[in-house]
Structure 1
Amino acid sequence: MARLNENNLRRATFSSLFRSNGGQGKGKGKAVPRRHRILRDDIQGITKGSIRRLARRGGVRRISATIYDEIRKVIKIRVHETLKNITILLDHKNRKTVMTRDVVYALRRMGTPIYGFGSNDFLARHKEVLVHGH
């Protein structure tokens, strides 16, 4: 920080008096660029164990060794389709933030409704149509 004398004290503002040398981090040394994680195929983050747990929940007892890569491919395609539908919805609404209801709507649009999220008034709104057939 520069020495303050009468001339530059008049020019100094509160924020300029307490401003740090931004971007250098802690300590007295020069800033070192951050190390970036090596990017790899993120689909491999879906581990063999997580696929096994999902299969067990679905009632599967034995899993072939060749099925894991196939399941990863299917998951990647499904996530890509879901994100495409969410992007279309966000473009239409002129928003940049994805909300839970956007995901629920995109999945419902794809024919896979997800329960427990959002309001239950979908049936209430369509109850009259379902009962009366109008």
Structure 2
Amino acid sequence: MSGRGKELGKGKRTFHRQVHRDHIQGITKPAIRRLARRGGVKRISGLIYEMTREVLKVFLEDVIRDAIIYTEHAKRKTMTAFDVVYALKRQGRTLYGFGG
């Protein structure tokens, strides 16, 4: 056994394809509708979905940027739930139930 894993050296080599796509579109229309329903909204205008995606993207960029700062300061490569909790707390949005 060479210890090189299952797939290496066994014929055709596969490559990872880069998918160039706006990932914010993964937040689907039904997902936004469910969040609105949870917030008590009965009817939703068709223009709301794209606006919601834009606002969500800005919010996530801010939270993830702060969480990355916490992760790098701790000299880790893996972001933990605590990093996200502390990033939210730094922005004045305390999240309960995840420690910290």
TM-score range, shorter chain: 0.7 to 0.9
CA distance in 2, matches of 1:55, 1:36: 35
Q: Percent identity?
A: 44
Letter in structure 2 aligned against 1:74: V
What pairs up with 1:1-134 in 2 under 5 angstroms?
18-19=1-2, 23-25=8-10, 30-34=11-15, 36=17, 38-118=19-99
**Maintained 8 Å contact 1:23/1:31:** no
- How far the C-alpha of 1:43 sits from its partner, in A, is 0.2
TM-score normalised to structure 2 length = 0.86
Query: Cα deviations across residues 23-68 of structure 1 (Å, max 9, x unaligned)?
Result: 244xxxx314246263310000000000000000000001000010
User: Secondary structure of 2:73's partner?
Assistant: helix
| Rounded Cα–Cα distance in structure 1 between residues aligned with 2:66 and 2:43 | 34
Residue pair 2:85, 2:98 contacting (<8 A) in 1 also: yes
Question: Could you tell me the TM-score, scaled by structure 1's length?
Answer: 0.65
Q: RCO higher in 1 or 2 (8 Å CA, sep ≥ 6)?
A: 2
* Alignment root-mean-square deviation, CA: 2.0
8 A Cα contact 1:90 1:96, kept in partner: yes
Unaligned 5+ runs, structure 1: 1-17, 120-134
Residue-pair matches, total: 98
Report the AA paired with residue 55 of structure 2: V
Contact 1:101-1:117 at 8 Å conserved across structures: yes
More helix by share: 1
Larger Cα Rg: Structure 1 or Structure 2? 1
